[in-house]
Structure 1
Amino acid sequence: MSYPIDNLLRPPVELYSAGTLFVGSAMLAATPPWVPVSAPTAMALSLGLLVGALWRGRQAWTVLRYQRNLRTLRRYSLKPSEIPWSNEVLYLGMGFRWTALHTQRLHQAQLPKNRRYAEQTRLYKAIRRFELTAEHDPRPRIQQLRTLFRQEAWWNRWKPLPDVGGNPALHGVEPDEEQVSMPLSGRVGHILVLGTTRVGKTRLAEVLITQDIRRGDVVVAFDPKGDADLMIRMYVEAHRAGRPFYVFHLGFPHISARYNPIGSFSRITEVATRTADPLPSEGNSAAFKEFVWRFVNVLAKAMTTLGERPDFQSIYAYAVDTESLAVRYFTWWLDRVRPGWKQEVDALEASQAKALAEGAKKSGRSTSTLAILGFIRDNDLRDPVADALRSVLSNDRTYFEKLVSSLYPLLEKLTTGKIADLISPDYTALDDPRPIIDWMNIINHGAVVYVGLDSLSDHEVAGAIGTSMFADLTSVAGQIYKFGVGVGQLPPGRRRLALHADEFNELVGDAFIPMVNKGGGAGYQVTAYTQTWHDVEAKVGDAAKAMQIGGNFNTRVMLRVENTETAEILTEKLPEVEVPSMQVASMASDSNDPTDFAEFQSRNEDRITIERLPMLTPADLVQLPKGQAFALINGGQLWKVRFPLADTLNESGIPADIEEMAHQMRAAQLAHGRASDAGITVMGKGSGW
């Protein structure tokens, strides 16, 4: 019968019996003459006592090992070649399944009476104080002693803990770890990774992206702020796998691939949706956003009918000068439905010159345009696009520009400087070596894409481009879901796409909801990383819509967080568990009755009580060390995980342009106080990419 309380926070009393049994075994093995047994019997008894000593010694070692593990943080890093990958499971790290037993152990470790087991020893603290006070001591022997105490060696029991903070007991409650993984079938249910800044989200992304590339999935990583190590890791893994690699980075337009966020679509209305989506939609702004959407939709329909591919530059040009586009479309349309119309319009313009001049003065339109509009009206000519353009031109120009004024600042930002050529590429510029990418070709060729949005420089432009990319990817998912895709596809005709969105709260929009809701049918596997759930709510402007987005993530990984609301996204999914505890009760009584023989009575007892506690509390998640997390995977199973830090030193064969880009990205990170938590030294040069 096992003891109902698993109490390892106590002195290892098993050592006493183990020592006694060992001494007895040794004495019997020596078979002194005063032992009244024969030599064979003495050896058999000695062997039995030795087995007992080893058994009790093992029990003592379990207690000592557990207590040491409670206050120890072990380093965990892997070389890139050592990162495991599989076609069946996704590797997350090392850890264990969290159960009610671990809740009980953590509860015990936090009790005041067990403080000495969970905290560092006095000797450890004294050595750390010595290192601090002797930092500038000029004596060589003192510095040698400091170096000795800081060495990472098996014999150094007092080496400093890794600089990851947190409470070591959260992982120390289970000394026996195993590889933690989740079935690949659960990837299409999507993964949500939550954690405050600089606790290991990007390093986890490196591990997951490395596996996705080796597995053969199409990989697209959105990095709004720019992490050089992540970009280098993706390039190296794509190069080793023989996969095409593209970099799209708003901060480096001279070497970035080009991309038209609104140039590829299955329905023409997508152009207006992607263009207007970044505009505010709260309160009175919603009506103006709807008007902008209709206006851009009219422009897009006219452009595509005339054979032009929409982009931000052309949308901006025609938004400012809608009249020129309308005249071109009217000319194209009337040439087909009313040959000889120009002579009729000229006659109308000559006969009504005075009235047209007054109308032009009031509306801000040219007399020739007003003559064409009058000709179409008088002859009752109908065409959906022409009717929409006539509706736009019928408004007073000054009044109309006020209605769409919210569109102009956004398009001005998207069409200024070198970024304009990046997101509004000239398809006829054959001398431009920068490739033009679109998502369908990326998927068909199994490419790997790093998207750097440079949000630290201009978060509004970064958000607009990222949101448009998500909308484009959602449209592509719809095409794949309905029709499949052909060239280069794996059987049965669909290739998995692993989409990693760091700081996805800056990218999320209305198009993100159908992507995570229905994108799994097209093979999309979304992994979203963000700091707090409040960031998502602030972006979408609606708590209910934010929870709708969160409800589409079946797997949740929670690193250290800084607010209770975010922590409750995980803890509220967990049940309460029964935790046994022991209470000591003492009682004494006396009697003044002279006839009572028992003048004094006392009683001491230990009571085992059952408490119902939450399996995890938000306070536990606040105390997680860097690189550690709780993961709710595989049907709600709770796992405690340590992520490996990828050891990416001395990577060679990096092209000069990517190496220079990485150098500048690291400089920018340092300038913004975002130094990487796992450095990388890039060596060597390679061919172009």
Structure 2
Amino acid sequence: MALGQRPDYARIARHVINIDELFIDYARVFLPSHDRQAWDNVVRIAGGITEKNTPRNLQGRDSYVVALEQYLSTTRLHDTILDGLRTAVRYDKTYFDKIVASLLPLLEKLTTRKISQLLAPDYGDLNDPRPVFNWQQAIRQRAIIYVGLDALSDAEIAAAVGNSMFADLVSVAGHIYKHGVMDGLPQTEENPAINLHCDEFSELMGDEFIPLINKGGGAGVEVTAYTQTLSDIEARIGDRAKADQVVGNFNSRIMMRVRESATVELLTKQLPQVDVLSNSISSGVTDSADAQGNISFSSNTQDRMSSIQVPLLEPASLVQLPKGQAFALLEGGQLWKLRIPLPGRSTRSADAGKHHTHSPLYGKTVRQHAHMVGPPGDSCNGEK
């Protein structure tokens, strides 16, 4: 940003591979603002740099990097960005390459093929008809955004894109909380609700997501997360305490059939014990001790009522739920039993081969790439 460039994955990958270029470019912009002759002095020093007078830790670096290090060592210029870049280039080049080696495979995936065109579009390309927007614009317009991360095909890219997206949304939520959604515009209005639905929640979880569910409510963020088990979240984060922190920030819980006892207890342990009346009948017969008397025996029958405490909902009740049914803990602890209508066989057959989306253009594109062409007159959201 200090260089007037918009950061994207392509630039990050280029500068990770060649950090010397970033250091030199920033120094060329920063130094003249403090000393007009500074860059000329660096150029003069660079002209005298040879392999023999280059420090061992800077071997293999650009001559301008060595010259900048020598120049900055003799001055008292301090800048947060410049100091950070100096620290990076001071590492031995071979050692630095080993440090960033694990990052490069992921960056290569994010900067190749069509995903690069999606994540790092050319903002100056006037022939590209695709709209470019940010979270702030989408929230102001009350837009609906669908993000298909395709974690089944490539979980690594899905996690990287999802985490960066959530980190950006956390930043925007913080800005909205402090200044409002219409900050910088003449008109003012109440902050809208931001409804975030996260399917396969465990695939998207990361440390950057915790502030969103913990403090995002102040900015109007309402998160609805869908996952299978508590263990999925714990395995993703790697910390049981953080997993409990995540789950504890969800006020309402809807649970369908699950097999893991720890997940079931997230709902059942929130429910109180209830008093249940128990009815027991007992009867007995007693022989008479007087063998000469008229009474041979006596009998009695007792009907007893007692109160016992039992859990309102047993874990087995959730384990044995049929498809399409669920229990819900809503509105501060009210238990509801839900029955969800399921599509019939005829409905599923009629919808086979169709891709229904909010965007007719997107639905048309999906069908073309999936090689699924409907019969004549078939439509996708009204577009034939």
TM-score exceeds 0.5: yes
Comparing 384-393 with 616-625, which one deviates more in the overlay? Answer: 384-393
Query: In structure 1, what is the equivalent of residue 247 of structure 2?
Result: 550
User: Which has the larger Rg?
Assistant: 1
Query: In structure 1, what is the equivalent of residue 139 of structure 2?
Result: 443
- Could you tell me how far apart the structure 1 residues matched to 2:325 and 2:103 are? 44
Query: In structure 2, what is the equivalent of residue 499 of structure 1?
Result: 196
Query: In structure 1, what is the equivalent of residue 297 of structure 2?
Result: 600
SS of 1:448's partner is coil
SS of 1:530's partner is coil
SS of 1:511's partner is helix
Q: Percent identity?
A: 44
SS of 1:493's partner is coil
Query: In structure 1, what is the equivalent of residue 8 of structure 2?
Result: 311
5+ long unaligned stretches in structure 2: none
Query: In structure 2, what is the equivalent of residue 614 of structure 1?
Result: 311
For 1:346-365, list aligned pairs within 5 A: 346-351=43-48, 353=50, 355-356=52-53, 358-359=54-55, 363-365=59-61
CA-CA distance at 1:503 after TM superposition:
1.1
- Could you tell me how far apart the structure 1 residues matched to 2:359 and 2:22 are? 47
The 3 A distance-change label for structure 1 pair 508 and 394 is: same
CA-CA distance at 1:555 after TM superposition:
1.0
CA-CA distance at 1:391 after TM superposition:
1.3
State the AA in 2 paired with 1:308. Answer: Q
CA contact (8 A) 2:257 2:318 kept: yes
Query: In structure 2, what is the equivalent of residue 344 of structure 1?
Result: 41
Query: In structure 2, what is the equivalent of residue 463 of structure 1?
Result: 159
State the AA in 1 paired with 2:26. Answer: Y
Query: In structure 2, what is the equivalent of residue 427 of structure 1?
Result: 123
Query: In structure 2, what is the equivalent of residue 683 of structure 1?
Result: 379
1:533 aligns with 2:230: yes
1:384 aligns with 2:80: yes
The 3 A distance-change label for structure 1 pair 657 and 528 is: closer
Equivalent of residue 628 in structure 1, options 311, 321, 325: 325
CA contact (8 A) 1:631 1:641 kept: yes
- Could you tell me how far apart the structure 2 residues matched to 1:322 and 1:510 are? 27
CA contact (8 A) 2:288 2:296 kept: yes
Task: Give CA-to-partner distance per residue, 1:115-150, whole Å, 9 cap, x none.
Answer: xxxxxxxxxxxxxxxxxxxxxxxxxxxxxxxxxxxx
Query: In structure 2, what is the equivalent of residue 324 of structure 1?
Result: 21
State the AA in 2 paired with 1:629. Answer: A
State the AA in 1 paired with 2:360. Answer: P
CA-CA distance at 1:564 after TM superposition:
1.1
1:576 aligns with 2:281: no
Task: Give CA-to-partner distance per residue, 1:594-640, whole Å, 9 cap, x none.
Answer: 35653323333333332321110111011112222111111211111
State the AA in 1 paired with 2:35. Answer: R
1:512 aligns with 2:209: yes
- TM (normalized to structure 2)? 0.87
SS of 2:146's partner is strand
- Could you tell me how far apart the structure 1 residues matched to 2:226 and 2:292 are? 79
The 3 A distance-change label for structure 1 pair 629 and 598 is: same
CA contact (8 A) 1:578 1:610 kept: yes
CA-CA distance at 1:338 after TM superposition:
2.3
The 3 A distance-change label for structure 1 pair 386 and 466 is: same
Task: Give CA-to-partner distance per residue, 1:14-33, whole Å, 9 cap, x none.
Answer: xxxxxxxxxxxxxxxxxxxx
Query: In structure 1, what is the equivalent of residue 99 of structure 2?
Result: 403
State the AA in 1 paired with 2:218. Answer: G
The 3 A distance-change label for structure 1 pair 360 and 433 is: farther
SS of 2:338's partner is strand
- Could you tell me how far apart the structure 2 residues matched to 1:506 and 1:317 are? 28
- Could you tell me how far apart the structure 2 residues matched to 1:652 and 1:507 are? 22
- Could you tell me how far apart the structure 1 residues matched to 2:26 and 2:75 are? 17
- Could you tell me how far apart the structure 2 residues matched to 1:622 and 1:359 are? 67
1:370 aligns with 2:66: yes
CA contact (8 A) 2:57 2:91 kept: no
| Bigger relative contact order (CA 8 A; separation at least 6) | 1
SS of 1:616's partner is coil
The 3 A distance-change label for structure 1 pair 506 and 595 is: same
- Could you tell me how far apart the structure 1 residues matched to 2:116 and 2:334 are? 48
The 3 A distance-change label for structure 1 pair 652 and 363 is: closer
The 3 A distance-change label for structure 1 pair 611 and 682 is: farther
CA-CA distance at 1:531 after TM superposition:
0.8
- Could you tell me how far apart the structure 1 residues matched to 2:13 and 2:218 are? 36
- Tell me how large the CA RMSD over aligned residues is: 3.0
5+ long unaligned stretches in structure 1: 1-303, 668-680
SS of 2:30's partner is helix
State the AA in 1 paired with 2:144. Answer: V
Query: In structure 2, what is the equivalent of residue 473 of structure 1?
Result: 169
- Could you tell me how far apart the structure 2 residues matched to 1:504 and 1:641 are? 22
Task: Give CA-to-partner distance per residue, 1:228-267, whole Å, 9 cap, x none.
Answer: xxxxxxxxxxxxxxxxxxxxxxxxxxxxxxxxxxxxxxxx
- Could you tell me how far apart the structure 2 residues matched to 1:448 and 1:613 are? 45
Query: In structure 2, what is the equivalent of residue 123 of structure 1?
Result: none
Task: Give CA-to-partner distance per residue, 1:367-420, whole Å, 9 cap, x none.
Answer: 332122112212333322222211111110111222233322222222222111
- Could you tell me how far apart the structure 1 residues matched to 2:359 and 2:62 are? 58
- Could you tell me how far apart the structure 2 residues matched to 1:349 and 1:653 are? 58
The 3 A distance-change label for structure 1 pair 603 and 525 is: same
The 3 A distance-change label for structure 1 pair 626 and 489 is: farther
- Could you tell me how far apart the structure 1 residues matched to 2:206 and 2:43 are? 49
Query: In structure 2, what is the equivalent of residue 413 of structure 1?
Result: 109
